[in-house]
Structure 1
Amino acid sequence: MPLTRIYRGTDEPHHGLDALPAPPPWRSFDGGPPLSTPVDEEGCAAPSAHRAGTFRPTPETVELVNAALYLRRPLLVTGPPGSGKSSLPYAVARELGLGPVLRWNVTSRSTLRDGLYQYDPLSRLYAANQATGQAGSPGAGLDEHLRLGPLGTALLPYARPRVLLIDEIDKGDLDLPNDLLHVLEDGQYEIDELVRAAPQQPEAQVLTADGRGRAPVRGGRVRCRAFPFTVLTSNAEREFPAAFLRRCVVLELRRPEGSELESIVKAHLPGTDAELVDEILRVFLARREEGELATDQLLNAIYLTSRPELTDVADRAALAAQVMPYLSRGQEDDVF
């Protein structure tokens, strides 16, 4: 008997997450007491309703998202530009009503601590001196100078999982995957400053990354209850350690082809003239045979050439080609 699909890929919000069974014993977490999952003002919609609503998952994507949900494991998503890697978590959050997506954009300078929390000791010292004329006690006023990062917020003890996007993890430092491995494996971390201050300040109210207020942190330790649905995207710029890969569910997205591209265009640009879509799509597919292009370039070209202000453009195909330059260096393009 097949598994019950918690995520169905239909873009129809539902409460299917309630049917998710208990996690495997080795992926059970007991942080607490439980916090309520924030919900957008519009209901169970992600911050970017358009981005979520226009994502078109393949059957394989639906199956592997459900595998990650059942196993409480991160989902490592690879694929070419424009394949929908970073849109996937928004679609899952919208359909399952999991509130705003927490997003961490990784750069070459990113460290694990950037994702967990930020602490400003200078502002705390200044505030203490302003208030008392001298540095305060070790535990005084820490709440005001700490802010949880996206990863740190996702691991709070929410009753229902948060959705976390760690975007372009392969751009990070070589040690970042292994550093992430331990936090995501254990579902917990410590805030060093609060651990040291625990005798004077057993509980702190710390700002969260989503701007939804403060969350209690006791003894400087944070442990999740519901493991966050975590999507890590990669452009396959380098290989990951085997220890990291075996703890992830791995999904490789491929380039969308003809009918899939048509579906994506209809979702983003409903009502566009079918003949125009067909014409620009042929240009896109022909150019993609010669070099790397992304789906959003196709959308740009169709939107631009469909504008009524451009009805006097003699050659729409040439204009479309001009706004679809190749993404890889060294590829010749005789359009310009």
Structure 2
Amino acid sequence: MRPIQARISTGAMAHNLRVARTHAGAARVFAVVKANAYGHGLSRARRALAAADGFAVLTLEEAANLRLMGVDQPILLLEGLFGADEIATCAELDLWPVLHHPLHLDWLRQHPPARPLQVFVKFDSGMHRLGFPLADHASVVAAVRSVPGVAGVTLMTHFAQADEPAGVDWQLQPFLGELAAHGLPWTSANSAALLRYPATQGAWVRPGLMLYGGSPFADATAAELGLRPAMTLQSELISVQMLQAGEGVGYGQLFRAERPMRVGVVACGYADGYPRHAPTGTPVRVDGVASRTLGRVSMDMLCVDLSDCPAAGIGTPVVLWGEGVPVDAVAASAGTTSYELMCALAARVPVVETG
């Protein structure tokens, strides 16, 4: 078989959840498992994160699958209802939808659920993506409370710059100040806010990236935050080439050797989920030795520098990201985020589960 594989550690995910709890105070923890648990597998993440107080997903299908897997904790629908027909399923499966638009209230009035629902009412505190205007909080909360199909209300917002120097105060303080009079539970913290801003804890926190071993910060590695990588993408050398000074490698000959050097060809490319736009110098490990990519990533292959790996040959292991090569470092080199890399893992890459 082609030697590429993704090793996914359930033990690392469980460890990272424990780290999240150390920052959560008295807040309960929603484990965010949308997008197939950030590429790690919904069923696998459900088992690894079974100690979470609840799960947060994007779609009704994800929520229904979790219930079929035996999950009995609360399940939050982060983007809420996509149609009035989903209300009945929310009641049947005891799902907690996010309400962020007046149309959601109309649907609940017109199609009352068989049993009242716990709902999360999202307010836009500055991200300007989803949410009721914060200035309308009094009328919105009153309207939600008047809907017979609502059993309980939790207030919610989302931060735009929790992972940046601007921080969260410019959103958190107006959110808390405006909504304090309602006396309702609230949630605001994603991974970045949970790790750096204790004031965002609220009743629930919503870590995602950190559960999979990624750092939300440019100035702090996952290891420095006490996190372990859950996904390790690895492959092997399938060929070794010898370049002379001035010779290039790969499409476009973007890399040219300055001196004679050995180049390894790795069975991994952008069709496997590795970023095509990763430039020369993106970190890898060859047989445990730190190295770098060379030239343009192809569909099925990429090239690496073997200058410091004189014994490397066909079959030598290569780590593309994960253990020994932080996915955040690969993402930074490629000008993207670790979220994208993990979510983009291709279906053709075999997955091996580890403890």
The answer, yes or no, to whether TM exceeds 0.5 is no
Report the structure, 1 or 2, having the larger helix content. Answer: 1
- The structure whose RCO (Cα within 8 Å, separation 6+) is larger is 1
| TM category, shorter | 0.3 to 0.5
Q: TM-score, normalised by structure 1?
A: 0.33
